[in-house]
Amino acid sequence: MSKKQKKLLYRIIISLILFAGIIISEKIFAPQGYNLSVLYLVPYFVAGYDVLLGCFRNIKNGKFFDEEFLMTVATVGALIIGEYPESVFVMVFYQTGELFQNIAVGKSRRSISGLMSLMPDEATVIRNGEEETVFPEEIEKGETVIVRPGEKIPVDGIILEGSSSLDMRALTGESVPFEAEKGNEVKAGSINLTGILKITVIKEYADSTAAKILELVENSTLNKAKTERFLTRFSRYYTPAVVISALLLAVIPSVITGDWKDWVYRALIFLVVSCPCALVISVPLSFFGGIGGASKKGILIKGANFLEALGNARTFVFDKTGTLTTGEFSVIGVYPSKDSSEDELLSLAASSEYYSLHPIGKSIAAAVNNVTVPDSVKEHSGFGVEAQTTHGVILSGNRQFMKNNGIASPDDISGTVVYVALDGVYKGCIRLGDTLKRDVKTALTKLKQEGIRSTVMLTGDNDVAAREAAEKLGISDYKASLLPDGKAEYVKSLTEKKAKNEALVFVGDGINDAPVLALSDVGIAMGGVGSDAAIEAADIVIMDDNIGKCVTAVKIAKKTKRIVRQNVIFALGIKFAVLIFAFFGLTNMWIGVLADVGVAVIAILNAMRTMKIK
């Protein structure tokens, strides 16, 4: 508990003791004709003087209808109509609620910021042969820093001395520690687990990825969720509306029935419940919690609005290369001619591509062990290669290359295909494709379970390759042979078609799809570490290249949305119920104050659950 909170606690206790004392004294002295009511003012002021002061300050600033004002009017009103004990009780209870709220909120604030505390507050630098403790911002390029086990690495650098396991979870979401040794580059924000490291600084604090991430998270307050904006607007009307109805309730029935005291009392209950604090506090806190929880898992979200939009996602559009696939080719089909075999065909192709630097050639060479080193190789640029080997002359290349050499080859195989011939005889062809990333299929299935209705894959590859990948992954739609601007145009047409309250999410590697990231409702960039461009362009950055994190992000977004909705319904439901009961005179003031602060505390505790979504 902070000093301030302790002070408030003491004030509450003292005023409760005084309150009890006065009630007992009244029991004793009232029959003898003494009126002790004025004594109630003492515990009232002990508990609530700051509320009264706050109220005056707000009025001076021209601000009515805030919490302090409402509580002041409600309790002073109760005093005026002679409900002394009630007034004191409401004030004490209100303050107790405030104290609880304060503690709960402070605690959640610390745990959320704990999730986001990537960077150490201080660092140890060697200057003039001596260790010196400085702020990370003051470290300069070329200096040497010492990082002990348990400390965070303050700046990007290269290990000069020592070796250690590094926990890079905060940066990459990768839970297996990275074994770093002399000469390795290390990133700011990693936690040194085992050994003492001396590190030569290669980047200043502000240029490190971790500092950029921190900045991003801090900037997230600028991007408020629609629900937050709506609530701000709502409370602008809700409070005055309740206050005005309270005023009407105090006057009109009183004039008709003549029973002023009863109706004023009912009106005062209205004032007690008219503050929308439970919502104003718990809704932003829910989003903060969700963002904090996500960042712990290596998912950085640039604002509550994006988290909210992701919760409404119905369509996921993926860039193929680099996102769904690794971007490396591999052999996906071998079609030997009648007089050849798979082994022979692969071996011939690999032999001819032995010296190749082309990704296709390299991938064939990587797939085969049985290779004959060619005596000489002649490249026919744009067509293929011609290799002299002990087996004979091997030609491998595209169909045109075969045709040019007068070799007949089948034309019913499409995609990325390499044709192979030995001494002028066609031997078969090999089809190549992008390697799919692991876990993509599982991730896509899970996305569907999370309510993502359509998944679309965009690619610059030809139709056959695209269809094959889409079928393999269970993607509902694909668009092939797209140029980079074609991707942007297609996504634009998709956003125009979708329903207004649904969100379109684009997932790319962030390298050359910045316009598409910007066009979509939520742009997710994968593999954020090291690519500042991606961090800049996207709304959500996934630090590693695990596509499963998209599912995690959607889960967090949906759960956050659910919790926000629970809080809104719960808080407003209770308040309206109390308003109705108060109208019919079925409740009293302290039920009203319980509905106000109790609901706020419960809503805050509920909001905190967003941090712990798996």
Both tokens assigned to 81? 């109509």
Candidate list 95, 96, 101, 416; residue touching another protein; CB under 8 A? 101
CB hemisphere CA count around 456 (13 angstroms): 16
Binding mask 40-59 for another protein (x = CB under 8 A): -----------------x--
In which region does residue 282 sit, left (phi positive, over 0), alpha (psi from -120 to 50) or beta (all else)? alpha
Instruction: Please identify, using beta-carbon distances, which residue of 66 and 207 lies nearer to another protein.
Output: 66
Candidate list 217, 385, 417, 480; residue touching another protein; CB under 8 A? 217
Closest distance to another protein from the beta carbon of 216 (Å): 12
Binding mask 289-328 for another protein (x = CB under 8 A): ---x------------------------------------
Nearest to 505 by CA among 550, 440, 536: 550
Q: Which helix (H) or strand (E) holds 92?
A: helix 84-116
Q: Which stretch binds another protein (CB under 8 A): 277-285, 355-363, 445-453, 525-533?
A: 277-285
Closest distance to another protein from the beta carbon of 67 (Å): 8
Verify binding: residue 109, another protein, rule CB under 8 A: yes
Instruction: Please identify, using beta-carbon distances, which residue of 117 and 321 lies nearer to another protein.
Output: 117
Verify binding: residue 285, another protein, rule CB under 8 A: yes
Q: Are 201 and 155 in contact (CB under 8 A)?
A: yes
Nearest to 567 by CA among 286, 352, 148: 286
DSSP E strands: which ranges in 35-171? Answer: 123-127, 130-134, 144-147, 157-161, 164-167
Both tokens assigned to 596? 């106000």
Q: Which stretch binds another protein (CB under 8 A): 195-203, 274-282, 335-343, 474-482?
A: 274-282
Q: Which stretch binds another protein (CB under 8 A): 216-224, 294-302, 312-320, 568-576?
A: 216-224
Instruction: Please identify, using beta-carbon distances, which residue of 153 and 278 lies nearer to another protein.
Output: 278
Instruction: Please identify, using beta-carbon distances, which residue of 112 and 480 lies nearer to another protein.
Output: 112
Nearest to 430 by CA among 366, 377, 488, 380: 366
Q: Which stretch binds another protein (CB under 8 A): 22-30, 100-108, 134-142, 589-597?
A: 100-108
Verify binding: residue 347, another protein, rule CB under 8 A: no
Number of residues counted as binding another protein (CB under 8 A): 27
Closest distance to another protein from the beta carbon of 418 (Å): 53
- Maximum Cα interatomic distance, the chain, rounded to a whole number of Å: 127
For the question of residue 319 being annotated catalytic, the response is yes
* Long-range Cβ pairs for the range 19-25 (8 Å, 24+): 19/43, 19/85, 19/88, 19/89, 19/92, 23/85
**Reduced 3-state DSSP string for 189-214:** CCEECCCCEEEEECCCHHHCHHHHHH
The conformation of residue 20, written as its DSSP 8-state character, comes to H
- Angle formed by the axes of helices 548-583 and 599-607, nearest 10°: 170
503-508 and 313-319 beta bridge pairing: parallel
Verify binding: residue 106, another protein, rule CB under 8 A: yes
In angstroms, the CA 116 to CA 110 distance is 10
Candidate list 28, 158, 222, 586; residue touching another protein; CB under 8 A? 222
Candidate list 25, 175, 219, 257; residue touching another protein; CB under 8 A? 219
Closest distance to another protein from the beta carbon of 136 (Å): 15
Q: Are 355 and 349 in contact (CB under 8 A)?
A: no
In angstroms, the CA 498 to CA 305 distance is 19
* Long-range Cβ pairs for the range 205-209 (8 Å, 24+): 205/119, 205/136, 205/137, 205/139, 205/154, 205/155, 206/137, 207/156, 208/155, 208/156, 209/156, 209/171, 209/528, 209/529, 209/530, 209/532, 209/535
Verify binding: residue 281, another protein, rule CB under 8 A: yes
Candidate list 67, 86, 204, 544; residue touching another protein; CB under 8 A? 67
Verify binding: residue 112, another protein, rule CB under 8 A: yes
Closest distance to another protein from the beta carbon of 116 (Å): 7
Closest distance to another protein from the beta carbon of 515 (Å): 23
Candidate list 175, 221, 257, 481; residue touching another protein; CB under 8 A? 221
Neighbours of 59 (CB within 10 A): 14
Both tokens assigned to 48? 């609530």
Verify binding: residue 4, another protein, rule CB under 8 A: yes
Instruction: Please identify, using beta-carbon distances, which residue of 463 and 536 lies nearer to another protein.
Output: 536
Beta bridge partners of residue 477, listed in sequence order: 456
Q: Which stretch binds another protein (CB under 8 A): 204-212, 279-287, 462-470, 497-505?
A: 279-287
Binding mask 510-529 for another protein (x = CB under 8 A): --------------------
Closest distance to another protein from the beta carbon of 156 (Å): 21
From the candidates 66, 207, 262, 319, give the one annotated as an active-site residue. 319
Verify binding: residue 284, another protein, rule CB under 8 A: yes
Nearest to 494 by CA among 481, 507, 503, 485: 503
Closest distance to another protein from the beta carbon of 281 (Å): 5
Verify binding: residue 128, another protein, rule CB under 8 A: no
Instruction: Please identify, using beta-carbon distances, which residue of 232 and 245 lies nearer to another protein.
Output: 232
Instruction: Please identify, using beta-carbon distances, which residue of 184 and 232 lies nearer to another protein.
Output: 232
Q: Are 597 and 93 in contact (CB under 8 A)?
A: yes
In angstroms, the CA 328 to CA 469 distance is 14
Verify binding: residue 61, another protein, rule CB under 8 A: yes
Q: Which stretch binds another protein (CB under 8 A): 97-105, 293-301, 477-485, 551-559?
A: 97-105
Neighbours of 21 (CB within 10 A): 13
Both tokens assigned to 264? 């004023």
Instruction: Please identify, using beta-carbon distances, which residue of 502 and 536 lies nearer to another protein.
Output: 536
Verify binding: residue 105, another protein, rule CB under 8 A: yes
Instruction: Please identify, using beta-carbon distances, which residue of 102 and 388 lies nearer to another protein.
Output: 102
Verify binding: residue 9, another protein, rule CB under 8 A: no
In angstroms, the CA 183 to CA 161 distance is 8
**Active site amino acids:** 319
Site residues for another protein per CB under 8 A: 4, 57, 61, 66-67, 101-102, 105-106, 109, 112-113, 116, 217-222, 232, 277, 280-281, 284-285, 288, 292
